[in-house]
Amino acid sequence: MFIFIVGVNFIPAKVFCNQEIVLFGDSLMSGYGLDEEFHLSTVLQKSLKEKGFNVKILNASVSGDTTSGGLNRLSWLLEGKKIDIVILCLGANDMLRGISPSLVRKNLSQILKILTEKKITVLLAGMVSQESFGEKYKNEFDKIYPELAKKYKVSFLPFLLDGVALNPELNLTDGKHPNPKGVNLISKNLEKKLIKLLNN
């Protein structure tokens, strides 16, 4: 006996899976100074859902956080949670305080080590240093992110604020944090990397 099923579209099982994505950073990703509807987590989740991705984005970014602070709270973040992807962007506050690039590297390396050992996919978003601490500091700081991305073989966005930094039209009046337009651009830049990870 033959059974014919007509009019049924077979969709890969992964389409039905809810992918949990975590933003793990500082005020640049936390939604500093903005209503929740303009937070990066809200904007990015909405855009991905509109494209058919079943995702939930958790905003675990903390304003003022450093790489040391991020490392200290990582175990709390991971405890009892099933996380598929972490978007990691820490180091801006370390740089603004002139913290040694070697310490920034050590902390980020440890965070990446823990995440990769737990089989969590990582999108590392880099930062670049201002020049107020000198050329040597900037050179040492700026090479941290591409080198760690290569070492841990993770997806990499060279600069979280690409196209946003120093543009008054895309930042709040403090000149440091993205406004809704800036968040939209950051979301689009991250989305290009995320879609590749979600399709794997």
User: Residue 8 class from Cβ within 10 Å (0-12 exposed, 13-18 middle, 19+ buried)?
Assistant: exposed
For the question of residue 27 being annotated catalytic, the response is yes
Phi, psi of 174 (to 5 degrees): -75, -10
Instruction: Report whether 145 contacts 107 (CB < 8 A).
Output: no
Measure the CA–CA gap between 107 and 189, rounded to whole angstroms. 25
Q: Which of 30, 39, 65, 177 does the annotation list as catalytic? A: 177
Q: Is 177 a catalytic residue?
A: yes
* Catalytic residue selected from 27, 30, 155, 187: 27
- CB of 41 closer than 8 Å to CB of 58: yes
Residue type, 66: T
Q: Give the residue numbers marked as catalytic.
A: 27, 174, 177
